[in-house]
Structure 1
Amino acid sequence: MANDHSGGTLEVPVIDIAGWTRGGRVDRAAVAAAIDEAARTVGFMQVIGHGIPEAAATGLADAIDAFFALPMADKLALRAPSPEINRGYSPPRAEKVSLSLGVGTPEDLFEAFNVGAEAADYPDERLPAAHYPDNIWPDLPDFRAAVDTWRGYAGALTRQLTDVFAHALGLPEGHFRRFTGHSVDLLRMNHYMLPDAETTVDRDQMGMGAHTDFGIVTALWADPVPGLQILDGDGRWRDVLPMRGALLVNLGDALARWTNDQWMSTMHRVLPPTDEQGRLVRRRSAAYFHDGDYDAVISPLPGCVPEGAAPLYAPTTIGEHIAAKLAGSRGLTPNPSAEREAARLTRGEQ
């Protein structure tokens, strides 16, 4: 997989969603139409007017800095007991995210810390610990408070976006809420740096390998540092630079499968962020994955399959789909059930 930039920088649509909450019928329709256009053509968008205070983003960035500055031994003590438990610390070169598509690459350079929905968050429901494991928290002042503050804002935003999605797709108001009552949401905080003894990046090494996100929608906070690329419709990798104050929003596999690929779950990757001498420079990001209920069934929405045609994907559940993806990225067992997504990646490498 060549680390090429031949496609140049992609202008990702910038969408002000303030009109959805503060505007009237015309404003809401305009927001939904803009999101529909981005979902059908790019699958990525830069969202402004999201209402998340700058202080929450600053607190999150400070928490990320504090955690990843810990000695490696302290971070390793916060690893989950097994790879299928997507919680706690993940060290550099522990994952191959492209294996979530069944595509093998060198180990990814990023390190990460994950927190997500727990069974205790839904005390009135008997949810399986395998899908709602307990979080693992570092003993750092203010870390949990800052992370939980961001999770609260990002969770509210992504749920609001699913209401916009329903409107854009001509579905009843709040249609997707029926699939997210106990959503297996996850916040993954990422840090891209080589260990101290290493200064340059091997050819074909990825900061994070090519993949599509697993669930419904992702809201991404990231440093305005190069590295993120998406695969465009012509099979070219295009750079995407986060805009200050905006959140990058992209659609996941569940929404693509619900719409029978009318909306796109965009292939993306992160190149090792480097300077002109090829030395890695620091890049931070935090991806909030609004994934849906583990037992929610993904099958085509009304009107999304042409008459007489077969659906592009077999029905599955959110839990089954995520488990297969994680078995690849974290368990290092190639996922055999992502043929369509893998084919898009293969075409982009030709």
Structure 2
Amino acid sequence: MSIPVIDLKDVDVNNPECEATQKVVAELRKAAMHSGFFYVKNHSVPLQMIARQFALSKDLLALSDEVKQKYDVKNFFGFRGFDKLNGQQLDPYGKPDHKEGFYCGKNYPQDHRFAIAKYQNYGPNQWPEELPECEEICQEYIEAMYSLADYLMKLLALTLKLPADYFDASSQDPMGTLRMIRYPPTPEDEDGLTYGVGAHTDWGSVTILAQDQVGGLEVCMPDGTWVAAPPIEGTFVVNLGDMIPKWTNGLYHSNPHRVKNTFSKGQYRYSIPFFYEPDYHAVITPVLGTLQEGEQAKFEPCTVGEHLEQMYNRSYNKAAENAVA
């Protein structure tokens, strides 16, 4: 049992009838109905851009604790900046996640209506002056991720026999979050319950993950089996988030996944996920064709912003409670 690799070469979302597009649409639909995870290759993001982002990640997360505290995510409403080691707990029944990271996103202008309203993920970025190249490198990568995420959403629309631009209306001002993460080795004296990231589903539409060669990502299949999602050269790992089952009335899956810090002492694992979510006020209800006549919706309608704020608060407050305990 493994996670499929989907080749985007020659795919044209504006030509659903071409052979390459039909093949990928069928493969993507199958993956979405099973694990909600797949690799993509020939994704058009330059490999040197990805390598540069990993180099920046290492420089960022090697900064001193004093510098990281100066740019802590809690400084501003937008949740941008550094989050500390063991500061988040994604598995509510586990232990705090043994990782640290740096959040950033698109530079939305401060007179944008969502920034004025102080909605999460639309606030100011905190770019460390200690690394003056950080902003430019991250903004270029974020732009590439937005393009790829939009492309994947168009493919998902085609898998549902909808127009490719179906989801565009809910993503005029999308929430995109780039996160650079460093995982230290699991402490030698831990009791077997410590994970780099505990079992969880992602919260938005799609996550696009670049991972280094260390490995450790595991995905829970529908039958409950955990399978590895090892690094594959030249690919991203893509997974569907919670918005997709809500949009498809459970037809497509957002599966749990976790990270095991099984690497050697003194070694770190780095990963770079990009989380793509629709507009803050977008209301998520089943799309055309996924709710049959007489069938009840499996999920209560919600706005994207409501769901994300609830999940942020739960995961960070739970980690704080366990730290005090």
Asked if Structure 1 and Structure 2 have the same fold, meaning a TM-score greater than 0.5 normalized by the shorter chain, the answer is yes
**Can you list the C-alpha shifts for 1:147-178, whole angstroms capped at 9, x where unaligned?**
22211111100101111111111112300111
Structure 2 unaligned spans of 5+: 321-325
How do residues 5-154 of structure 1 correspond to structure 2 at under 5 angstroms? 10-21=1-12, 25-81=18-74, 85-98=78-91, 103-120=92-109, 123=112, 128-131=117-120, 132-139=122-129, 140-154=131-145
Partners of 1:124 and 1:327 in 2: CA distance: 23
The question of whether the paired residues in 2 share the 8 Å contact of 1:117 and 1:133 is answered with no
Give a deviation string over 1:216-241, Cα, whole Å, max 9, x none: 11100001222111111111222210
CA contact (8 A) 2:158 2:164 kept: yes
SS at match of 1:164: helix
Give the superposition deviation at 1:117.
3.6
Match of 1:341 in 2: none
Identity %: 28
The match for 1:337 is none
Distance of 2:279 and 2:85 partners within structure 1:
30
Cα distance in 2 for partners of 1:333, 1:280 equals 25
What is the letter of the counterpart of residue 128 of structure 2?
P
Aligned CA RMSD, in angstroms, stands at: 2.3
Is contact 1:292-1:318 (8 Å) kept?
yes
- Corresponding residue for 1:170? 161
| TM-score, length of structure 2 as denominator length | 0.90
Aligned amino acid, residue 203 of structure 1: G
Q: Deviation string for 1:225-270 (max 9, x for gaps)?
A: 2211111111122221021110000001101110011111111111
Distance in structure 1 (CA, Å) of the matches to 2:74 and 2:153 = 33
**Distance change >3 Å, CA 226–CA 115, structure 1 → 2:** same
Paired with 2:255 and 2:116, the residues of 1 have a C-alpha distance of 30
* Distance in 2, Cα, partners of 1:126 & 1:282: 35
Letter in 2 for 1:254: M
What pairs up with 1:1-350 in 2 under 5 angstroms?
10-21=1-12, 25-81=18-74, 85-98=78-91, 103-120=92-109, 123=112, 128-131=117-120, 132-139=122-129, 140-193=131-184, 201-275=190-264, 279=265, 281-332=267-318
So what's the TM-score if we normalise by structure 1?
0.84
Give deviations 1:66-96, integer Å, cap 9, x for gaps: 1111111111211023696421101111111
Q: Is the 8 A contact 1:79 1:88 kept in 2?
A: yes
Tell me if the contact between 1:84 and 1:326 (Cα under 8 Å) persists in the aligned partners. no
Asked if the contact 1:96/1:106 (under 8 Å) is kept, the reply is yes
Contact 2:176 2:276 in 1 (8 A): yes
- Distance in 2, matches of 1:62 and 1:301, equals 40
Task: Give the deviation of 1:127 after TM superposition.
Answer: 5.7
Q: Structure 1 residues 257, 285: closer, same or farther in 2, change over 3 A? A: same
Instruction: Check whether the contact 1:192–1:273 (CA below 8 A) recurs between aligned residues.
Output: no
Q: 1:118 to 1:294 in 2, by over 3 A?
A: farther
Alignment partners' CA distance in 2, 1:12 and 1:200: 33
